[in-house]
């Protein structure tokens, strides 16, 4: 402040006066109670929000733990299913090997039977051809030997022999 200047000309004086009047008005009107009530209400609202946030966090943690447990259970179930499938596959492979061995054995027996039947048919056919050749050869030999007088004698003897056997 300058030495000749009055105190009320100083802006700091008026700011101080305004502050005193404001605080006095607040106290006189009991606004401090209203302000305190508003601050209390706001702090209560904030406290409720904090409690709700804590509750939501606890619920989220519970859900997280549940889902982690379910994931572990699902992984365990998947591992069991995979192990069972591998076991079933091994059993099926063994069954298929057994079935294949039985089928091969049946086919071998069937082929052996067909070979035996073919051999028997071939032997029968060879015997039939041999018999036919022998008959033709015998016929040819007999025809040659039956020519002339000797043949007539032989035919007459055979006829009389047949007649004796028939009666």
pLDDT digits (tens, 9 = 90+) for 65-100: 999 999 999 999 999 999 999 999 999 999 999 999
Residue 148: per-residue pLDDT = 66
Q: pTM of the full predicted structure?
A: 0.41
More confident: 129 or 8: 129
Contact 26, 32 (CB under 8 A): yes
């Amino acid at each position: 402040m300058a030495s000749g200047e009055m105190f009320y000309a100083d802006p700091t004086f008026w700011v101080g006066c305004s502050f005193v009047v404001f605080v006095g008005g607040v106290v006189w009107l009991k606004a401090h109670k209203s302000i305190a009530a508003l601050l209390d209400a706001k702090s209560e609202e904030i406290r409720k929000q904090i409690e709700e946030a804590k509750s939501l966090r606890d619920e989220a943690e519970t859900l997280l733990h549940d889902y982690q447990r379910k994931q572990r259970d699902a992984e365990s179930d998947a591992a069991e299913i995979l192990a069972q499938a591998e076991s079933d596959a091994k059993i099926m492979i063994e069954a298929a090997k057994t079935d294949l061995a039985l089928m091969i054995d049946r086919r071998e027996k069937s082929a052996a039977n067909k070979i035996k039947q073919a051999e028997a048919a071939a032997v029968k056919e060879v015997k039939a051809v041999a018999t036919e050749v022998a008959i033709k050869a015998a016929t040819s030999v007999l025809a040659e030997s039956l020519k002339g007088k000797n043949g007539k004698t032989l035919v007459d003897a055979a006829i009389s022999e047949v007649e004796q056997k028939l009666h």
